[in-house]
Amino acid sequence: MARAGFCAECGRNVWLKLPLCTECENGHPLSALSGFYDADYEVVVVPGRPIPDTLGGPFQPPEGVAEIRVMAAGLSPEWLDYGRQNDPRSLVSLIRDAEGSQRNRLVASLVARGDAAAAGALLEVIGNDSHTGWDVPAVYGLAAMGPIVVPALIVALGRSSDDWAGWRARDALGWIGAPAVPALWEVIRKSRDDVAKGRAVEALAYTGLPEVVPGLLELLKAPDDMGAPVYIATSFGEYGLRALINTVASPTSAREAYRALLGLAYLWDQTGMPGDSRAVSPGFRALFRFADSGGMRDKLARALALYGDRAYAEALAYLPEIAKHANPEYASRRGLQANDWWIAACLVFVALGDEYLQRLFDDTAGSPQFANVVMAVKALVPYRSLME
């Protein structure tokens, strides 16, 4: 599991091995989770939000965007003239070298200018960043400029994966919100650049707009979901959670059910938010429905196991029904090749791990009617590594 922190002040993601954000001037404390790793995913950055006040609520752009916009609207005539009369590109080095309020005013003067040349200068600022944090006001400025900068930011999305400008373009597009949404969908549908497409999905999540959720849900059916389930779970509050729960309850395929459940399980595993346990019961029903789906069945069992105690309690409730069908010899002989629903249920116990297996043995001790279930589970334990 890869995890990172989010600096609420400067907007940067920092690995949790660091106690403070070293990317901005004051070393602000890390304040939100922003990383996930699974065998089916690369490490992805999810929109950072403070804990605990707004975690689980729709993502909101940083206050700095509104602050730059307000500053641009209230600049003195001298600053307005400075932005209008100078070549915007000449301000790039000044923004890099300035500090604090002077840097913000330089950015605001370009925002007030509001033309393509000003946008190009701010893009050049973020393109020259060396990860020191001084480009943050420029990103706020691009977001504050709104629709005029969307085409240029879309182009910047596709820069190489190690180019900081691409990540910052993603941030600005997300913070621009609704005006950027059509262009972002265009990238996802038509671009052949996987880097640009992945960043476009993240930018859509950064908007926090409920109207983008149905489109992101469609990605759960695609060969590559580009991290959509995690973004839906973490960026749209209750609306996103309900959308994923409904998908788990009525999936069109085992893959879709797994991806939706995994997005919810991620949030549950990282925060323990009680609302996500609503997916456990429909998750088991999906598991039984797709018991004959082989590898996807095993992945569903693993995703359910991420719920720990909640998954164990649900699986335990099925014990009487499992006991009517459990056949240890059959489980031992067929292993993961068996397509029976009760085998799928037993695999949840296996995926939960040794601590929960011991709890199962203790909870069923002295109950002869469950002896076949326990023996079947034990017969499946050697196959655990094959479920990965």
Question: Residue 24 gets which letter from DSSP?
Answer: S
* Residues paired with residue 52 on neighbouring β-strands, in sequence order: none
The overall pTM is greater than 0.75: yes
Contact in structure between 204 and 187 (CB atoms under 8 Å): no
Cβ contact 201:231 at 8 Å: yes
Greatest distance between any 2 Cα atoms in the chain: 88
d(CA 169, CA 224): 22
pLDDT in tens, the chain (388 residues): 233 444 444 444 443 333 334 444 444 333 333 332 222 222 233 333 332 223 345 677 888 899 999 999 999 998 998 889 889 988 888 888 888 888 899 999 999 999 989 998 998 888 765 555 667 888 999 999 999 999 999 998 886 655 778 888 999 999 999 999 999 999 999 999 998 999 999 999 999 899 999 999 999 999 899 989 988 988 888 888 889 999 999 999 999 999 999 888 777 666 655 445 788 999 999 999 999 887 889 999 999 998 888 999 999 999 999 999 888 888 787 777 777 899 899 999 999 999 999 999 999 998 999 999 999 999 888 877 766 5
Beta bridge partners of 236: 58
Identify residue 97 by its one-letter amino acid code. D
Confirm if 1 and 37 have CB atoms less than 8 A apart: yes
